[in-house]
Amino acid sequence: MLCWLQQALRAYDNPVIDAAIRLANTMQLPVLVYHGVRKDYPYASDRLHHFILGASVDLADGCRRRGLAVVQHVDRAERREKGLAYRLCIDAAALVLEDQPTFVARWQAERVAVRIDIPVFAVNAACLVPPAVIGADVTGRTAFLRRHEPARATWLAWDDEVAEVAPYEGDLPFTPDRLGADDLGRLIAELDIDHSVPASAAHPAGRAAAEGRLARLLAAVLPGYASARNDATRSDGASGLSPYLHFGVLGPREIMAAVDAAPAGAQHKRKFADELLGWREWFHYQARQLAVPEGYHRVAGWARQTLADHAGDPRPEHETLEAMLRGETRDETWNACQRQFLADGWMHNNLRMYWAKRIIAMTSSPEAAWATACYLNDRLSLDGRDPSTYGNLAAMFAGAPADRERPVYGKVATRGDGSTRHREGGAAWLEQAAARLVPAVTIPATAPVDPYLTGGPPI
């Protein structure tokens, strides 16, 4: 039974692995877990590779502890293994992979599923309540929550499956890598990827770091979450868990079980659940319903129309891509936001709203704004390329219409920076942000375009 993990990089509490074990037990077959990393996916960088491969090391250790054979492969010039997933399928009875609605995991799963002739099962490990069980007919968040909320308790109860058959020891169509945490720096340095975007010190890779973040959430963040979460100047206002969630190092079930058991006040737990389950899983559901969740055309029609009506307006706040990428525009607050992306590979939620809205004024057209926002978010942020990326950006490009029409934005509401700048401590925070050392990331030769509209998935 081949279990292909693409983004759910955890050994336990992993529905993809558990589905593979359950199927394998039924057929009295061993499971082979496979995790491979290409070097030619969009935005491949030291930052993403470190995070992914660090998680893969712990994933493999955990799988072995569970009595499962696991093979890893890092794509590189001297170790190209074309079509590895297909070749691994040749001797498999069935393939279990991920039901992920965006980016590489989705493209790969869709491509493989139509080309192989063994059964393929796509299992969701990203959400507490798998989007597939909600049904395909929900169009609004309120209706989504009406189905989602009652389903949560059922999915919170989980027991890891136990493999009945000894680990797979048969032939393999390639020589696997055996990744160790100590080898990753050297290995990554030799790859033909973007070395100008370095690993994030704020979000170290691996399971121990994720567990540390979860412990910090329970002890320091959750007790004040409902009131502190909007304050970007505080270091204890938000959990910083999104990178670990994006790459599945931690699943929402484990986080919610810990939150439910914590002694924090009910209003804080409710607010946290609203973000982690109510918003995050809504965006996953939305993305799964869309053929191309990453494209500009997902933005509400009225918003695209009003932005198009104002596409010819003068744009005095226009900035070059270089100034934006490096966080060196004329807007001090925007630069502070962008510098968080550059330095940490993460940005506070409250800043992201201002950052995204301002990109509409800083670029030459609404389409260029969308492409630039996706590009900056996806290239720099560890949690980018996610259903929450495109869902939130779409909300920033539309949302509730403004009370009056403005240049460039039309009826799309604008947003000021007062919630950070005018807070107590705001000025000091801006000063610190400006003084931060950030990497000098390379500037692309051409401006970003919406890659998903022009030629389909780039790989």
Ligand X SMILES: Cc1cc2nc3c(=O)[nH]c(=O)nc-3n(C[C@H](O)[C@H](O)[C@H](O)COP(=O)(O)OP(=O)(O)OC[C@H]3O[C@@H](n4cnc5c(N)ncnc54)[C@H](O)[C@@H]3O)c2cc1C
Phi-psi sector, 425: left (phi>0), alpha (psi -120 to 50), beta: left
- Shortest gap between Cβ of 350 and ligand X (angstroms)? 8
Minimum CB distance to ligand X smaller for 167 or for 224: 224
Q: Return the number of other C-beta atoms located less than 10 Å from residue 219's C-beta.
A: 12
Which residues contact residue 129 at a Cβ distance below 8 angstroms, ignoring those fewer than 6 apart? 148, 151, 152, 155, 277, 281
To ligand X, the closest distance from the beta carbon of 49 in angstroms equals 18
Neighbours of 292 (CB within 10 A): 16
How far CA 6 is from CA of 38, 75, 357, in Å, comes to: 11, 14, 32
The single-letter DSSP state of residue 45 is B
CB of 217 to ligand X, least distance (A): 7
In whole angstroms, the minimum distance from the beta carbon of 20 to ligand X comes to 25
**What are the angstrom distances between the C-alpha of 326 and each of 196, 321, 336, 379?**
12, 8, 11, 13
67 or 223: whose CB is closer to ligand X? 223
Write down the least CB distance from residue 240 to ligand X, Å.
4
For residues 29 and 276, which CB has a smaller minimum distance to ligand X in the complex? 276
Cα-Cα-Cα-Cα dihedral of 139, 140, 144, 146, to 10°? -120
For residue 70, give both structure tokens: 């696991």
Of the two residues 70 and 347, which places its CB atom closer to ligand X in the complex? 347
Can you name the residues that pair with 35 across neighbouring β-strands?
72
Backbone angles phi, psi at 229, to 5 degrees: -65, -25
Of 25 and 349, nearer to ligand X (C-beta) is 349
Angle between helices 349-362 and 387-397 (to 10 degrees): 60
Which of 168/390 has CB closer to ligand X? 390
Q: Applying CB under 6 A, which residues contact ligand X?
A: 229, 238-242, 245-246, 275-276, 279-280, 283, 348-349, 352-353, 356, 377, 381, 383-384, 386, 388-389, 392-393, 396
C-beta of 293: minimal distance to ligand X in Å?
12
Residues in the chain: 459
When the beta carbons of 4 and 247 are compared against ligand X, the nearer one is 247
* Shortest spacing between CB 206 and ligand X, in angstroms: 17
